[in-house]
A and B are shown apart, each in its own frame.
Chain A
């Protein structure tokens, strides 16, 4: 996985094009990509973290050039590839287990979209940090289990110091779940960073950035 997707704080001279505002879809193919991606998301072959990992793993130049739904489309094709549904001719055998694929039926759409995919788990996991406590973020934001694996720890806060402002209970841990290593729920916190602690030139000393961070992203502040 490249870091192309980890954009927070990258210097970008472009203005925000606020005229690109209202249409959900710019073309019919975008509608197709959207609907197929959501439908296959219910197939049980992968999870949301895996699909994010698939998009992030596209060739970096493609990640940066593709539009939003082009990324979805390419990521989806790769997920179907790893499940043997799409083949590139190098497969020695047919590894698609059709019996484990759940086809989304129209009558279930409303219910399933309504349930979504909650990630909060009842399990009480280790919780080492308290509200108001000053914490440090790990200096290295690489996935600790999988080489170049998925993580939700953005580059711009690694090694930085902030304050815990909320605790959200235990949530599925993307760094494990994206690689089918189990849900491994961990305590999830919102950590507030002063902008002046993140950027050389900050716009206003009072400004702040809040980032949601899991237990193992954080360390005691010394």
Chain B
């Protein structure tokens, strides 16, 4: 059997992460291996361009348009490509629909895989040991930490993102939002409702 031991070079670096990354960056700059403009562009992408609004637009469209919803569920990657919403950490996406009988919840127990192009970067709690450990064993207790209570008649289905498939929950449309336009619906759709740790809700002030 082969061996593959990565040496622990990081231990030779200052332990304070702020100092540690500066030391690393100095080496990379000296070797000419990073371009600051590229780093800025990456940050701009994930701080300003990619976020839960992307996912919300898809969900609103699915609520408003039955044919689109069917396409989205059956031909997800093509639909996302057509909407220019594919990308890194969203190369292969599966949309899971909440119904009267099933509530879906997304986790990644092995690291913190998350559909970046649709939801942006994951919140801290999604990356926490507690969420990664507990979501598969006691999803209802986890949901109650989010003040989400489910009727006993609903099955909870937890999706552990162990491969490069990324999952997006299609939440149920609240009855009180029926008849609103696709644009109006977008503001009802929270990030958590697309992970399964929350429900859509009326926008503040409405």
Contacts and interface: CB of A to CB of B under 8 A. Distances in A.
A5 B113 CA distance: 13
Contact of B158 (A112, A118, A209): A209
A29 B13 CA distance: 15
A126 B183 CA distance: 46
Contact of B17 (A29, A120, A199): A29
Contacts of B156: 203-204, 206-208
A79 B7 CA distance: 9
Interface string B115-143: 00000110111011111111011111110
A78 B7 contact: yes
A7 B112 CA distance: 11
Contacts of A181: 2
Contacts of A25: 47
A16 B131 contact: yes
B10 A12 contact: no
Nearest to A149: B4
Nearest to B160: A211
Interface of B: 1-4, 6-13, 17-18, 20-22, 24-25, 27-28, 31-35, 37-43, 45-47, 86-92, 94, 107, 109-112, 120-121, 123-125, 127-134, 136-142, 145-146, 152, 155-165, 197
A21 B125 contact: yes
A31 interface: yes
Interface of A: 5-12, 14-18, 20-36, 38-40, 43, 52-55, 57-59, 64, 67-70, 73-82, 85-86, 88, 98, 101, 103-106, 108-110, 112-120, 145-147, 149, 152-154, 156, 166, 168, 171-172, 179, 181, 188, 190, 192, 198-199, 203-204, 206-214
Contacts of A35: 39-40, 42-43
A146 B2 contact: yes
Given A29-B17, A109-B41, 10 more contacts: A8-B160, A20-B128, A32-B39, A34-B46, A43-B33, A52-B110, A54-B6, A82-B9, A104-B35, A214-B163
Contact of A81 (B4, B7, B40, B89): B7
Q: Which of B28, B121, B152 has the most CB of A within 10 A?
A: B28
Q: Which of A29, A40, A43 has the largest count of B CB atoms less than 10 A from its CB?
A: A29
A40 B29 CA distance: 12
7 contacts: A32-B39, A40-B34, A73-B17, A73-B20, A104-B34, A108-B38, A179-B4
Nearest to A19: B125
A43 B34 CA distance: 10
B8 A58 contact: yes
A141 B199 CA distance: 36
Contact of A106 (B25, B38, B136): B38
A179 B2 contact: yes
A206 B155 contact: yes
Given A16-B131, A146-B2, A116 B21 contact: no
A209 to B, nearest CB: 5
B133 A32 contact: no
A113 B140 CA distance: 35
A210 B159 CA distance: 5
A105 B7 CA distance: 29
B128 A103 contact: no
